[in-house]
Amino acid sequence: MNAIPNHTNELWPHSWAGALCLAATAVVAAEVVDEGRFVRLHWSEQGAEHGNPGVRYNSRFRVNAPEVVLHPTFGGRVEARASGLMQILMEEDLRRLAGAELYLELWGGHPGTVNQRVTLNGRGTYSWPRVGVEEQNCAHLYPLIPLKLTDLLNGYNALQFACDQGTTFWGHFIVDNACLRALLQRDHPDLQRTGLAGFQASVKAQPAGETIELALSVPVDKLAAIASVDFQGNYRGYDENGDGQTADWHGFTKMRQPVAFVGAASSPPFTATWDVSMLPAQKDVAVRAVVHFKDQTNLVYLAPPTHGLEIAEREHSRVALYTSKDLPHPFWSRANRPHTCAIELDADPGAIERAELHVVVWDGGAGQVKDYFTLNGHPLPVAGEGKHDVIYSALKLDPSLLKKGTNQIVLLSDTEHHGIEVLLPGPALMIRSKR
């Protein structure tokens, strides 16, 4: 089995926005001249017409441990009929590819599930990084998995997903979306045919107070081919994509669309403003871009990163991230069973200039509970309509809601089955306070 490192979110389709503060003496990051790469995206599609008849039993793509089929209770559930087999049509001349990858949008599954994996065309088997499900946590994950070209086919590719029971009551996880990504050689005939063979682009970064202005640097004669641009940041902040890293590329996709990217542009000159006033001071910040094309909707160009950015120390303020040290395992609520955690603050509320609560939930519904998520007794809207989807919230808070010392969060749902799950890394407070 191939144990694969996590290269989360190598830039994805469509738009977003976000925020930076450079030292007054900092030099603007040099434009990167490394060559980017072209990637053609082949997404999975539900339905028998796409080689995936499993939608007859489930609207979601579910993966089960073997034991469920004999379980006295769950064995009769419709979810137990899911085989974990998915097909993705990828019509590519594999001899003209520089490589290939598999990207997944995963709901991490029932806490305690282990050994999540996928076998490609009965050839290679691939796993992805552990992010805490095995330790009884609620989690989500967006792995990008390098593949052997010899494990692929020019046509329908069969992906057999599987997992083991572990310590849970039902070994189970969900694949919300899957994409086979074909890395095209620079002299690929399709690039030659569309006039993109020599295409290159990079990101320019210009500081402006507590923002940074982002611009796509591209030859003028190529602008007309571009439909939109997304910008993604590498920095230290809240781990909204749940990969266990606070300092890395941030953001993820939901239903194939980007969440928590730092900027987007849908028309020339393809610029965006990144506001970093609520990020901690730090060095080694970077930004990169994905370029979408008007006439090639499943083709993207991944521009190389622009490095050397800095979020400078503020003269009169500091920004810090505060996390919880006592998360429940798992952190979910159903059947009127509350769960709590605490976040300790060392800042006096009177000195707090701005505050945000960051949290990611899997929204199975609060049932009849009105105030399902509270901070120090104050309800906060972190879920939606119980659609069993992942929701990332970055909520502005009135500093008067906070306390120096212990700040308590309570989660409560009265649904019979799945309620609301707080996904790793759990809730956190981003605090900007006076020095």
Read off the pLDDT of residues 185-225 as tens digits, 9 standing for 90 and up.
999 999 999 999 999 999 999 888 899 899 999 999 999 99
Least confident of 48-62, 112-126, 268-282, 387-401: 48-62
pTM listed for this prediction: 0.91
Note whether 46 and 53 are within 8 A (CB).
Answer: no
**Rounded mean pLDDT of the chain?**
91
The answer, yes or no, to whether residue 231 has pLDDT greater than 60, is yes
**Which residues contact residue 291 at a Cβ distance below 8 angstroms, ignoring those fewer than 6 apart?**
201, 216, 218, 226, 228, 229, 300, 301, 302, 303
Mean pLDDT of 345-368: 95
d(CA 368, CA 380): 16
Mean pLDDT of 99-127: 97
Taking Cα atoms as reference points, which of 70, 10, 18 lies closest to residue 38?
A: 10
The answer, yes or no, to whether residue 378 has pLDDT greater than 80, is yes
Least confident of 13-27, 142-156, 301-315, 343-357: 13-27
Note whether 17 and 213 are within 8 A (CB).
Answer: no
Mean pLDDT of 15-31: 30
The DSSP output letter for 305 is P
Q: What is the pLDDT of residue 19?
A: 28
Q: What is the pLDDT of residue 34?
A: 59
Taking Cα atoms as reference points, which of 248, 230, 231 lies closest to residue 239?
A: 248
Q: Is residue 8 very low, low, confident or very high in pLDDT (cuts 50, 70, 90)?
A: very low
Q: What is the pLDDT of residue 260?
A: 97
In 190-325 the beta strands, taken as DSSP E runs, fall at: 202-208, 211-217, 226-236, 247-249, 252-254, 257-259, 263-265, 271-275, 282-293, 299-302, 306-311, 317-323
Q: Is residue 416 very low, low, confident or very high in pLDDT (cuts 50, 70, 90)?
A: confident
Share of the chain above pLDDT 70, in %: 92
The answer, yes or no, to whether residue 64 has pLDDT greater than 60, is yes
d(CA 132, CA 90): 32
Least confident of 24-38, 136-150, 193-207, 404-418: 24-38
From residue 109, give the alpha-carbon distance in Å to each of 15, 174, 328, 432. 28, 6, 16, 35
Q: What is the pLDDT of residue 187?
A: 95
User: How many beta carbons lie within 10 A of that of residue 394, not counting itself?
Assistant: 14
